[in-house]
Amino acid sequence: MRKPIVAANWKMNKLKEDVREFVQDFKRKLPHGVLGRVDVVICPSVAHLALFSHEGLLPVGVAAGAQDSHWEDKGAYTGCVSAAMLKDLKVRYAIIGHSERRQHFSESNAMLAGKLRASLRSGLAPIFCVGERLEARDGGQTMNVLGEQMAALSDTPAELLGDPTQLVLAYEPVWAIGTGKVATVEQAQEAHAFLRRQLSTLRGEAWAQDVRILYGGSVTPENFGALIKCPDVDGGLVGGASLEVDKFVKLIEIAAQGA
């Protein structure tokens, strides 16, 4: 049985003291023993990752994640952060290919394939995001879009994909991100099952069954319980609801109940 993951994507939110206050409150409210049943990841701004590594803010069992990672280990890339740098900060996960990166920074599938390879080479576990826009959903092109985006995995050397627990996928329908809309249980399961079939084609059924696939897109405590009951939904990549301690803790509790 795959261990669920609840990953917080804080995006460009919170100042240093906000981070400290959140984590202190989070530690107080997180139920005892829940971290043994759920993997929890918090992805703050890169400006605050050092708080997690140097100040030891996170409770034991909660991993730090980055919101992006470059495709090179070093070089003349102003403003960028490499996977090696993130590992140096004791970061465990890196979000790769979030729709906001694809949209606002024109990140191509080829660029994301490079980021995916660099993360795996450095020992970061990528949370690789895929998802369709509303026009693709309405036009019946969802699976075509997802298949094209999954090509980044096809271009990844087999030796980097040996351990299925080192890869996390996140299905995030773009039309549901920050809109308050959420995919139905049927839509989510259909997309997740398709992604697992793609993984099976890539590396075999046994390997594919061990890869965890998260749902993202306006995840809340009110809708998460139904989503995580889907056989191919293994947790959530959470935006807005992860900024509030009570909501984030509730999402973790919901995931633990199904573990």
Alpha carbon 109 to its chain's center: 17
Q: Which of 70, 132, 172, 192 is catalytic?
A: 172
- The phi and psi torsions of 189 (rounded to 5 degrees) equal -65, -40
Output the 3-class SS for 104-155.
HCCCCHHHHHHHHHHHHHHCCEEEEEECCCHHHHHCCCHHHHHHHHCHHHHC
Output the 3-class SS for 70-100.
CCCCCCCCCCCCCHHHHHHCCCCEEEECCHH
User: CA 214, 38, 199, 72 torsion: positive or negative?
Assistant: positive
Distance CA 13, CA 7 (A): 15
- Contact between 49 and 66 under an 8 Å Cβ cutoff? The reply is yes
Is residue 48 part of the annotated active site? The answer reads no
- Tokens 């390997």 label which residue? 207
Side chain identity at 70, as an amino acid letter? H
Is residue 172 part of the annotated active site? The answer reads yes
- Contact between 134 and 183 under an 8 Å Cβ cutoff? The reply is no
Q: Which of 48, 98, 132, 192 is catalytic?
A: 98
Give me the active site residues, please. Answer: 98, 172
